[in-house]
Amino acid sequence: MSTKDADQSLITTDVQTGSRDRTDRTHETVVKARNLDVYYGDEQAISGVSMDIPEHEVTAIIGPSGCGKSTFLRSINRMNDQIDVCRVEGDLSFHGKNVYDEDVDPVALRRKVGQVFQKPNPFPKSIYDNVAYGLRIQGKADEVDLDDAVERALRGAALWDEVKDKLDSSGLDLSGGQQQRLCIARAIAPDPEVILMDEPTSALDPVAASKIEDLIDELVEEYTVIIVTHNMQQAARISDQTAVFLTGGELVEFDETATIFEDPDDDRVEDYITGKFG
Amino acid sequence: MSTESHHESGAGISGDGPVQADNEANRRARRILFGCATITVLTTLAIFFVLIDNAASYFFGAKLTEMLMGASPEQTVTFTEFFTGTRWAPDHATPAHGAIPIIFGTLAITVGAAFVSIPIGTATAIYLSEYAPDSVRSKLKPTLEILAGIPTIVYGYFAIAFINPVLVAPIASALFGINMGRYSLLSGMLVVGIMTIPMVSSISEDAMSAVPDELRNGAYALGATKFNVSTRIVLPASISGVFASYILAVSRAIGETMAVTLAAGFTANLTANPFGEIMTMTAYMVKMARGTTAVGTVEYQSLFAVGLLLFVMTLTMNLLNDWFKRRFQEEYR
């Protein structure tokens, strides 16, 4: 297991991969997994995963279908709780607190750890109400200037200029790429610390996808981004750290993105990246 | 089909042989299906025509058909009296034709029943769709459907035997000092309300279950509680279906006959006293149709006028439902 490498963020990354050089800062760990196992009934989806995810960086999780990468993502904000047969063992901590402890309220956790889904899922409400929803249910609507917060979130999601004149129209009337950016605006409006993204561009056309990628680049200034992606080029372009899961829910290698794509330790990772399997 | 026909007709795609037989069977089936569909439409039209034809005789002394044959209309009951009069007694020695008391009776029962069925039915639907574990849902839903299948006359006896004497009468005498009879408006409201709960809960639950899980997950991921998700995401997203269930329940309450007759009574009082006896439009029709009225008399024809009005009321509810559906139905991709 290569989790020990996670702390070696002093290695200079190669610019060629497109991975940005944020290594001058040492980042604290936000999410830390230790021997995490996740089961769906009798089936094991995640097997003994240990990794430290640094804050204010983009951490990409790649791997073939069914390797447990989405399951891992959903474990972080406990969205797996929605699935009756799902069972989690081992440690998964957010700022040092195990999120599966008895006294952790998943509702409170999810207010710190937002999520953007694979398929854009705006609520059948106005654009404004979509963005304001999180603030309203979290009781923050009275503390902040709601109009202001909605504008800021929409600007943050690079959607403001396209929708500022039609905030009252339905979020469902937007194009797929716009809907996904609306979902990002909705996620960042209540100001979480971490944003989980589960293949956020896989349902989008290449132009819309590249807008989301640019956006992720900006989001990481303020948030920690953990992104699951099928697209290896995407991981290489936008992430600082890359974790490679392989079938069986095993974390094979976790390192600087440049290292993973240029000089991985594990042969299986090299095979996967060069397309020999997966 | 068979290789034989393949050889006969070259490429085997011309319309003879076994294909021809298939096509004939297909045409026959289409005629039969069309015939069945026609029967329902014709029946509806026939009922509507009979209602109007006879109602005309109530107001104008002659049926539409008779007037077409040359009978001259003479006003027997004026629209003004029918729609504004407050005494309803077409079968009385000194007859009166003000339908207000029975219209009021029907509306009072309907509104009262809605106050029972809509909140309880909606809450049940939310519970079933969002909260109930599978094991509970699998028992509760069939139970509710059994409730929907109980014959209405049984509900009527339930009102006579239980709701009125055991539930309503003691309240009337203990709290208000009223000595109540066998029938009461409140009992009618309660029994019709209870009857229509399954309609609201079952149809609303179907609408709520049809809301895609992506929406729920989107809300949960923002730190929404189950209650937030139920009331702010699922309920608004399913509102057209939920509203349809309300309309159906209200239509049912308007047209409800046996239970309401046995619960609320046969006396056309214009009263909002919940412990008093009233008469609904349907109860009046039951009373008149029991057989002592001679066919062709004004009081007999009043049945059709009341029936037509009832029909118009439920038709209005249906149109309202259609409008609401068009206006609020959400399309999910």
Give 10-residue mean pLDDT values along chain B (333 residues): 50 76 91 95 94 90 84 83 90 87 94 96 96 91 89 92 90 85 92 94 94 94 94 93 94 92 88 88 87 78 92 92 82 50
Count of pairs with CB atoms under 8 A, one residue in A, one in B:
69
Question: Does B223 fall in a domain?
Answer: yes
H helix runs in chain B, sequence order: 3-8, 18-60, 64-68, 79-84, 100-126, 134-149, 152-158, 169-176, 185-209, 213-220, 226-228, 235-237, 239-255, 258-264, 281-289, 298-328
Q: Which residues of B touch A137 (CB under 8 A)?
A: 219, 222-225, 228, 232
Please give the Cα distance from A254 to A275 (Å, whole number). 18
Structure tokens at A57: 């960086």
The amino acid occupying position B204 is S
Q: In Å, how far are A83, A98, A235, B99 from B222, measured between CA atoms?
A: 17, 20, 25, 55
Query: Domain containing B192 — which CATH number?
Result: 1.10.3720.10
Report the half-sphere exposure of A262 (CA within 13 A, side-chain side). Answer: 12
Q: Which of B184, B191, B167 is nearest to B252 (CA)?
A: B191
Total residues belonging to chain A: 278
What is the model's pLDDT at position B332?
Answer: 53
Assess whether B162 and B304 both reside in one domain.
yes
Assess whether B52 and B120 both reside in one domain.
no
Determine the structural domain holding residue A225 and report its residue range.
Answer: 29-120+190-273
- pLDDT tens by residue, A60-74: 999 988 889 999 999
Instruction: Flag residues of chain A having pLDDT under 70.
Output: 1-26, 276-278
Question: Does A1 fall in a domain?
Answer: no
Question: Does A100 fall in a domain?
Answer: yes
User: Is there a contact between B268 and B88 (Cβ–Cβ < 8 Å)?
Assistant: yes
Question: Does B298 fall in a domain?
Answer: yes
Q: In Å, how far are B57, B90, B278, B313 from B87, measured between CA atoms?
A: 21, 9, 12, 21
Q: Do A79 and B228 touch (CB under 8 A)?
A: no
Question: Does B248 fall in a domain?
Answer: yes
- pLDDT tens by residue, A130-145: 999 999 999 888 888 9
Q: Identify the DSSP state of A91.
A: E
Instruction: Give the closest of A82, A114, A134 to B217, CB-based.
Output: A82
Question: Does A40 fall in a domain?
Answer: yes
Question: Does B90 fall in a domain?
Answer: no
In total, how many domains does chain A have? 1
Q: Do A123 and B219 touch (CB under 8 A)?
A: yes
Please give the Cα distance from A205 to A210 (Å, whole number). 9
Question: Does A237 fall in a domain?
Answer: yes
Question: Does B94 fall in a domain?
Answer: no
In total, how many domains does chain B have? 2
Question: Does A54 fall in a domain?
Answer: yes
Question: Does B151 fall in a domain?
Answer: yes
Please give the Cα distance from B257 to B190 (Å, whole number). 14
> Three-class SS of residue A157?
coil
Total residues belonging to chain B: 333
ipTM of the complex: 0.87
Q: Which residues of B touch A123 (CB under 8 A)?
A: 215, 218-219, 233, 237
pTM: 0.83
Best B136, B216, B222, B229 residue to mutate vs chain A (most A CBs within 10 Å): B222
Question: Does A11 fall in a domain?
Answer: no
Note whether B215 contacts A: Cβ–Cβ < 8 A: yes
Please give the Cα distance from A2 to A49 (Å, whole number). 10
Q: Which of A40, A108, A53 is nearest to A77 (CA)?
A: A108
Query: Domain containing A97 — which CATH number?
Result: 3.40.50.300
Question: Does B73 fall in a domain?
Answer: no
Structure tokens at B230: 């139920």
DSSP string, B174-236: HHH-----S--HHHHHHHHHHHHHHHHHHHHHHHHHTS-HHHHHHHHTTT--HHHIIIIIIHH
Phi-psi map region of A48: left, alpha, beta (phi>0 left; psi -120 to 50 alpha):
left
The nearest CA of chain B is from the CA of A189 a distance in Å of 10
> Three-class SS of residue B109?
helix
The nearest CA of chain B is from the CA of A232 a distance in Å of 26
Determine the structural domain holding residue B47 and report its residue range.
Answer: 3-68
Q: Identify the DSSP state of A54.
A: E
Q: What does R_g of chain A's alpha carbons equal in angstroms?
A: 18
Assess whether B255 and B108 both reside in one domain.
yes
What is the model's pLDDT at position B328?
Answer: 79
Question: Does B165 fall in a domain?
Answer: yes
Assess whether B114 and B242 both reside in one domain.
yes
Please give the Cα distance from B272 to B275 (Å, whole number). 9
